Amino acid sequence: MNPELEELYQEVILDHSRRPRNFGTLADAAVCVHGDNPSCGDEIDLGVKFGADGSLQEIKFSGQGCAISQASASLMTMKLKGKSRTAAEEMLHAFHGLVAGESDDAAPSLGDLRLLRGVRKFPQRVKCAMLAWRALEEALRQNAGQATVSTESDFVRPIPDGTTRPGPGL
Ligand code: ZN
């Protein structure tokens, strides 16, 4: 990463961690997931409300933790609000591929989320970056009610229909 990009990375991450977007409790959420990252002490509560077509009509989070975990959650909610379920699942897999270092070409659809690719050099920080996404994964699986996830449990599972569906650019 060149110094300029590193600076931008810092700036965007810090901005989102200080002023997280879509932050708060979603009163009429269909599903609420509590996520824990014990290795860093990050916590998140993610609420999702689905539209009649199954899209992610509203998505909000609250929580506390390191800058990476909060910025990743903030950027994620901005990116996923209004998106279809399929698009959300594709983004989840594209983002995981990016931060886990499985793909060198970041999907352009990830936008500013690509700035988090720097965490791939630090396995502990990958968990921070993935926390909100693990909660999202669980929210999509549960569809309704309450659930809990931890970064210390299994890694991202395949898309429920059994196929792997790499996002664009993977
Ligand atoms: Zn963290």
**Domain parsing of the chain, residue ranges:** 3-150
- Is pLDDT above 50 for 4? yes
Distance, CA of 78 to CA of 81 (rounded, Å)? 6
Tens digit of each residue's pLDDT (9 = 90 or more) over 26-47: 999 999 999 999 999 999 999 9
Among 19-23, 101-105, 115-119, the range scoring the smallest mean pLDDT is 101-105
Q: Considering only residues 46 and 12, tell me which one the structure prediction assigns the higher pLDDT.
A: 46
Residue 31 token pair:
């599903």
Q: Compare 169 and 52 and report the one with higher pLDDT.
A: 52
Structure confidence by residue, pLDDT tens digits, 121-159: 888 899 999 999 999 999 999 999 999 999 987 555 444
Q: Please state, in angstroms and as integers, the Cα–Cα distance from residue 11 to each residue in 14, 18, 86, 100, following that order.
A: 5, 11, 30, 22
CA-to-CA distance for 31 and 39, rounded, in angstroms?
Answer: 25
Question: What is the Å distance from ligand 1's center to 82 Cα?
Answer: 27
Report the separation in Å between the CA atom of 54 and the middle of ligand 1, taken as the mean of its atom positions.
31
The band of 166, judged by pLDDT with boundaries at 50, 70 and 90, is very low
pLDDT at position 160? 53
**Ligand 1 mean position, distance from CA 65 (Å):** 6
What is the CATH number assigned to the segment(s) 3-150?
A: 3.90.1010.10
Task: Report which of 6, 32, 2, 42 is spatially closest to residue 115, judged by C-alpha positions.
Answer: 6
State the distance from the centre of ligand 1 to the C-alpha of 162, rounded, in angstroms.
Answer: 31
User: At what angle are helices 123-142 and 67-80 packed, to 10 degrees?
Assistant: 40
pLDDT of residue 2: 64
CA 89 – ligand 1 centroid, Å: 23
Evaluate if residue 5 carries a pLDDT over 70: no
pLDDT, tens digit (0-9, with 9 covering 90-100), for 57-75 = 999 999 999 999 999 999 9
